[in-house]
Chains A and B, each alone.
Chain A
């Protein structure tokens, strides 16, 4: 099988698997005072230090969560509540329209239930926001802004955002900034301190750690209101007994990304470039979405639109040939929706529906690229036939 869906989840790194497996044999609640608890706590705190070191944070800034979605929810809702509590006028959130649903949906929820307003930033054809637009959005009414949220890199088209410039622009007004760095972590130099961000989302399984664990990096001066109340773990920001094996596995993956990231990303980018070249050679009218400049794009991301095709037809045909990829768009009961990211970038609905994301990662090999090179031409031709038929029967 050619697994080209690393942006969905990537295989666990051997080091992460080893420490996690070992930890599954142990007992201990990291909040307990006895020896077993102390042992577990030591693992958690060492893990916290590893995650902090890997992403340029202080250990005290790492809040472990049960994954990226929870960390995003904690930031999006928790920052809103805390800022509004401090100043009831601050109900406006400045956000990019190309965020993951783990950010978009909590934003919608805040609008529907909590009286929040969202100022959507414009994006260019590559899906990128500009710091100038952040400044303009805040300057329209600075005292109403709760915070800014802009992802580090887009999960669908791979476009890298100018998060440091965004943070600088927002800080000029004293406004904090959150960034969902789930896709960027482990492949780009994600440095929390250097970025100037106030909150940053990480996910374990996207960097070669286990599923079900993540973290919100939270600047020491940044207040968030908790989503989960209980035992007061994680600075009272996130109650719940810590999943020690998962946290340890996450930390091992973070550690590996710190040591191997540069070489791994270069290798993955090389494979990605070969894949893009192969697809464009086989299907000359395919369009590469996102930034054509590798410097502005996730190294493992290749995202195409194929005119006249349904993305789910392509997916089915590639799956039948042992190639796993994604339409990269949100699903509701499995129904493909046209991608909000592509629509925000100015694509029409038809080309947004005929899109496919190949995402490479640490286990990708030249054979994966060769499989796509062999399959993509006939698959697109066949999907085009079905696309035309489907349109005619309407």
Chain B
């Protein structure tokens, strides 16, 4: 196959490209330039000049043709603007899912296919397994590194053109392999946080982007406990940084229970109020055939969160498609905007974007 390997400049994508090449594919490396403000932004994330150079160096060591594709316009419109708009609307988005869905496996994939490539190879820790209905997406063997959650938005036509060579290995083994292959990125630290917020200060980024929007912090009875500078600085389940001054009457810690940008209100309360047993989502994305009847599965609501047993149901009506998930065990602090990813065993069934919880 002709394979386009996305090289982020990190160790995982470099080893993935090397394995694709060793498997006999005709591999070309491409680094996705996602930010126009790349220069001097530090080494974190996936869009700095240093990362581009590391990606090029890895391609050179592997003797792969290497190009940089400028996806900054698409990334800004599809990922960054969406991220800001979601927070502004009081939701908590996951930009990595969004990037995989809209950038890597839509914009880049479309261009790759048009240029004659057969597949895109990335360094994600997930496995593709041939199943009766086509390729199935499964969790990685290394459960600590498993990234199937952020791929839960990929549909069959996208999975059919994907290559995830690292899903069967541990990060430790991949690092060792990188060193053995002479890849200088072998010891490079993992990227963390949101790549377009290189200093890691998401609240600061949002307040710079959205401007101040002060409002009250209230308890469940509506009693004003304090003020805040903008609802976008808060996410459901958050405990720290509330700056309420005096403790609750019962002395117990308080958590963010709800964020309402329209009224600019942040509601706080006790931990048990975060408990959620029912999650509803919109924009379902099925990794295989859509389930036609209620599905026993496990549901995961964070990239590295626990999956809990659940019953999921796909409904399509005049209001559009919805996914209803009843959790067998309560989860704490589920925010609108998060993705609920459904699994059967290790297989990813699909996902939806949470819009209601109860």
Residues on A facing B (Cβ under 8 Å): 312-313, 315-317, 319-320, 331-336, 382-383, 385-386, 388-390, 392-394
Q: Give the residue of A317, A319, A336, A389 whose beta carbon is less than 8 angstroms from that of B70.
A: A336
CB distance from A268 to the nearest CB of B (A): 27
Q: Give the residue of A335, A383, A392, A393 whose beta carbon is less than 8 angstroms from that of B115.
A: A383
Contact residues in B for A312 (Cβ distance below 8 Å): 67-69
Contact residues in A for B77 (Cβ distance below 8 Å): 394
CB distance from B64 to the nearest CB of A (A): 11
User: In this complex, which of A320, A388, A392 has the most chain B Cβ atoms within 10 angstroms of its Cβ?
Assistant: A320
Determine if A334 and B67 form an interchain contact, defined as CB atoms under 8 angstroms apart.
yes
CB distance from A275 to the nearest CB of B (A): 23
CA distance A312 to B68 in the complex (A): 9
Chain A CB within 8 A of B298 CB: no
Contact residues in B for A386 (Cβ distance below 8 Å): 111, 114-115
Determine if A382 and B114 form an interchain contact, defined as CB atoms under 8 angstroms apart.
yes
Chain A CB within 8 A of B220 CB: no
- CB contact under 8 A between A335 and B74, given known A316-B115, A385-B114: no
Chain B residue, CB-CB nearest to A384: B114
Determine if A335 and B65 form an interchain contact, defined as CB atoms under 8 angstroms apart.
no
Determine if A389 and B67 form an interchain contact, defined as CB atoms under 8 angstroms apart.
no
Determine if B67 and A335 form an interchain contact, defined as CB atoms under 8 angstroms apart.
no
Residues on B facing A (Cβ under 8 Å): 28, 31, 33, 38-39, 49, 52-53, 56, 65, 67-70, 72-74, 77, 106-107, 110-111, 113-116
Determine if B31 and A334 form an interchain contact, defined as CB atoms under 8 angstroms apart.
yes
Q: List 16 A-B contacts (CB under 8 A).
A: A312-B68, A312-B69, A317-B115, A320-B28, A333-B33, A333-B53, A334-B31, A334-B67, A335-B33, A335-B68, A336-B68, A382-B114, A386-B115, A390-B111, A393-B111, A394-B74
Contact residues in B for A335 (Cβ distance below 8 Å): 33, 68, 70, 72
Closest 6 CB pairs of A and B: A334-B68, A386-B114, A393-B107, A333-B52, A389-B110, A385-B114
Determine if A390 and B110 form an interchain contact, defined as CB atoms under 8 angstroms apart.
yes
Chain A residue, CB-CB nearest to B113: A389
Determine if A317 and B116 form an interchain contact, defined as CB atoms under 8 angstroms apart.
yes
Determine if B65 and A320 form an interchain contact, defined as CB atoms under 8 angstroms apart.
yes
CB distance from A92 to the nearest CB of B (A): 30
CA distance A161 to B65 in the complex (A): 36
Chain A residue, CB-CB nearest to B30: A316
CA distance A319 to B114 in the complex (A): 16
CA distance A332 to B67 in the complex (A): 12
CB distance from B45 to the nearest CB of A (A): 14
Contact residues in A for B113 (Cβ distance below 8 Å): 389
Determine if A333 and B68 form an interchain contact, defined as CB atoms under 8 angstroms apart.
yes
